[in-house]
Amino acid sequence: MAEKLKPHGWQYVLVDIQWYEPAAKSFDYRKDAVLTMDEFGRLLPATNRFPSAVNGVGFQALADYVHSRGLKFGIHLI
């Protein structure tokens, strides 16, 4: 994205729907999904889908990488 789209004005990289759901197969929500939250009740990324989030570090490594490419990082919250 930084190489091909940033020169045309794109600046945001967003992690969209279902980033916290380890068994997500589509955009549909599963009412029985087992989710991981921190001590404040904030959703944590599914580590099988975002390995850099292991040990509760969240999206920090991914956000740092996106920022290092001169882009902005965001996540879709329910």
In a domain, 10, yes or no: yes
pLDDT at 31: 86
Domain hosting residue 70, numbered range: 6-22+38-75
In a domain, 32, yes or no: no
With beta carbons less than 8 A apart as the criterion, state whether 72 and 13 touch.
yes
In a domain, 33, yes or no: no
In a domain, 49, yes or no: yes
What are the residues facing 75 on neighbouring strands?
A: 15
Which has more pLDDT, 31 or 78?
31
Give percent above pLDDT 70 in the chain.
99
| pLDDT of 78 above 70 | no
Residue owning tokens 């991914």: 62
In a domain, 44, yes or no: yes
What's the burial of 35, exposed, middle or buried (CB within 10 Å: 0-12/13-18/19+)? Answer: exposed
With beta carbons less than 8 A apart as the criterion, state whether 35 and 45 touch.
no
pLDDT 10s digits, 24-40: 888 788 888 889 999 99
Q: How many distinct structural domains can be found in the chain?
A: 1
In a domain, 58, yes or no: yes
Q: What is the pTM of this model?
A: 0.82
